[in-house]
Amino acid sequence: MSRGALYSLLNIGFVLVMMGAAVITDASNPRVLYVCLLFAACTSPVVLMDRINGRYMLLAAALGMYFLLFGASDAATIALDTTASLSVGVLSPAELVILAGAVLLILGYQAAARPAGQSSVLPGKDWSTSTVVTTGVILWAFGAAATWIWQVYRYRTATEVNQGFGDVTTLGLVIARLVHPLGMLLLAYGLAVTRNRMLLAMVLAAIAIDVMIGFIGDTKELAMRGLLLVIFARVLVDGKLPKVWLSAGMAFVIVAFPVFQAYRSDVMGVRGLSRAQAAEDIGHSIQLALQSRQKVLEGRSEEYRNPSFLGRNNIKPTLEILVAKVGHEVRYQDGHTLSLFFMALVPRILWPEKPDSSVGQLYNRELHLSDDPDTYISPSFVGDLYWNFGWAGIIAGLPLFGFLLGSVNRRCDLSQKRSVLRLLVIATTTYLLCARLEDGIAIEFIVWLRSLAAIGLLNLVFARVRVAVGQPAGLDGSVEAPAAAGPAVPRFSNLLR
């Protein structure tokens, strides 16, 4: 089937499902047009992509997250005949912003990704298998330890910070936490190219430890990250979906996420335990969460209701409020929240009095979205641009964002050449600039740049000439270079020894 035909079938099928749902529920929901238009825009990569790991992979990731944040909940609302949407009319002002933003992002991406051919990111250099595994283990171990300290001991709760962490310690923890996912990604990449059973056991152990850190640290994202990185590495290396790993990920979401919610509501909320207290007896904390979850399943508890996945990821209502209020009840930021990017470049150790740069808390306070002023409400890249400059921010900002993603993907196209550097850059960009599209622009871009700096430094140290991971090699690092290319010459031959 041609890509154009597949795109047409997908959209025709989606329109029929939405219209059929409206007929069955006897509801004339005006959101049908908006949802169908947004779906058409967000599935456009189907027409453009020739390979799943090719030049349009980042566009597919960004638009997939875009639809999840701004359209998936409305689609579910239509199917279930509920009235959760704040939108009025056939197309509300916020929906026009969302639709225009998607189209502009696509146009900007196309402008950068259209040139075909080989990219120019350090051709002929890659890491040996032993370097990938050794560096991955070291980075993951340091990162996991730092993440445990940060999540469990630095933060008593989600917003309350414990005292006693100096600026130097905090900076060290921040740096170590940055390399945590890089270490996991290196291990996942090594597993993808070697299929080594010993490495598989190491990866599974690392995933289990990350799940435990995410559970006690009260963050589902961290708990899922290791598994997602393994899946992502397999997609980038093989160019196809790993069915077994995807099934494991879906099973984890179904089984574990309600237990995580029970832990947050019962152990952290009702019982008032801090993360450090919960960590003193992890087994007991898990038991309490399981008992609380069982009460809910049996209908014996009204202490919490686990919000749906779509409900938790739906940020369209807050964008509706933003578009309605900014310029009338709330002033434009005129670039203030974007300028926090430059402020964040300066470490707090050099600027002890650096003001708080939490865009999410400012967003909440300005729009009065929560009674608790310390609650963090994600503004999204779209909301951040509109909050600063209105329509001008959307028209100028989203094409530039799309152009950046297209440029990165074109230069790190794994369907043209497989390498550790390309994998790390693509994976980091996908996570921080696509999967975290719901957050503020400044914080995500500063973390992205810091991560790229760390990746560049690692590649400078460990890249070897004319050696590619994936050539016949054992985990001892022995890799035979092609005869015509000459011997492999390491940049720093004795560093890992």
Lowest mean pLDDT among 151-165, 330-344, 454-468: 151-165
What is the helix, strand, coil percentage profile of the chain, to 5?
Answer: 65, 5, 30
Q: Where are the alpha helices (DSSP H) in 271-315?
A: 275-280, 282-297, 309-312
**In this structure, are 112 and 85 located in the same domain?**
yes
- 251 and 197 co-located in one domain: yes
Q: Is pLDDT larger for residue 91 or for residue 473? A: 91
Whether 264 and 294 map to the same domain: the answer is: yes
The 10s digit of each residue's pLDDT in 85-115 is 556 667 899 999 999 999 999 999 999 987 6
Q: How far apart are CA 68 and CA 75, in angstroms?
A: 10
pLDDT at 268: 74
Higher pLDDT: 281 or 146? It is 146
Whole-number Å distance between alpha carbons of 207 and 356: 33
Q: Is the pLDDT of residue 360 over 70?
A: yes
Q: Is there a single domain that holds both residue 110 and residue 130?
A: no
Confidence band (pLDDT; 50, 70, 90) for 79?
Answer: confident
Shared domain for 325 and 399, answered yes or no, is yes
Check residue 295 and give its pLDDT: 64
CA contacts within 13 A on the Cβ side of 257 = 15
Q: For residue 382, tell me if it sits in a domain.
A: yes
User: Are 114 and 188 contained in the same domain?
Assistant: no
Residues 6+ apart with CB under 8 A from 219: 151
Q: What is the DSSP letter of 484?
A: G
> Phi/psi of residue 122, each to 5°?
45, 60
473 DSSP β-pair partners: 479
- pLDDT band of 230, cuts 50, 70, 90: very high
Residues 84 and 156 in one domain: no
Residue 113 shares a structural domain with residue 37: yes
Which domain range does residue 294 map to?
Answer: 125-311+463-485
pLDDT per residue as tens digits for the range 401-428: 999 999 999 999 988 888 899 999 999 9
**Does residue 283 fall inside a structural domain?**
yes
Q: Average pLDDT of 33-57?
A: 93
**164 and 307 share one domain:** yes
**pLDDT tens, 484-496?**
444 444 455 555 5
- Give the total number of structural domains in the chain: 2
Neighbouring C-alpha atoms within 13 Å toward the C-beta of 353: 0
Residue-level pLDDT at 472: 40
Q: What is the pLDDT of residue 322?
A: 92
Whether the predicted pLDDT of 118 surpasses 80:
no
Whether 3 shows a pLDDT value over 50: the answer reads yes
451 assigned to some structural domain: no
- What gap in Å lies between CA 106 and CA 102, rounded to an integer? 6
Is there a single domain that holds both residue 158 and residue 235?
Answer: yes
Within a domain: residue 32? yes
Q: What is the pLDDT of residue 98?
A: 96
Examine residue 201 and state whether it is found in any structural domain, yes or no: yes
| Mean pLDDT over each residue of the chain, to the nearest integer | 82
Read off the pLDDT band of 152 (50, 70, 90): confident
Which pLDDT belongs to residue 483? Answer: 38
Confidence of residue 362 (pLDDT cuts 50, 70, 90): confident
Give yes or no: residues 61 and 190 share one domain.
no
pLDDT of residue 495: 52
- Give the rounded distance of the alpha carbon of 330 from its chain centre: 30
Give pLDDT, residue 122: 44
Same domain, 260 and 168: yes
Instruction: Say which range, 58-62, 206-210, 219-223, has the weakest mean pLDDT.
Output: 219-223
The tens digit of pLDDT for each residue in 240-261 reads 889 999 999 888 888 887 888 7
AA identity, residue 304: Y
Is residue 180, in this structure, part of any structural domain at all?
yes
Domain end among 374, 395, 413: 413
187 part of a folded domain? yes
Say whether pLDDT at 183 is over 50: yes
Query: Residue 166: inside a domain, yes or no?
Result: yes
Residue range 326-332: mean pLDDT, rounded? 88
Query: Is 190 exposed, middle or buried, given 0-12, 13-18 or 19+ CB atoms closer than 10 A?
Result: buried
Give the pLDDT confidence score for residue 422 in this predicted structure: 92
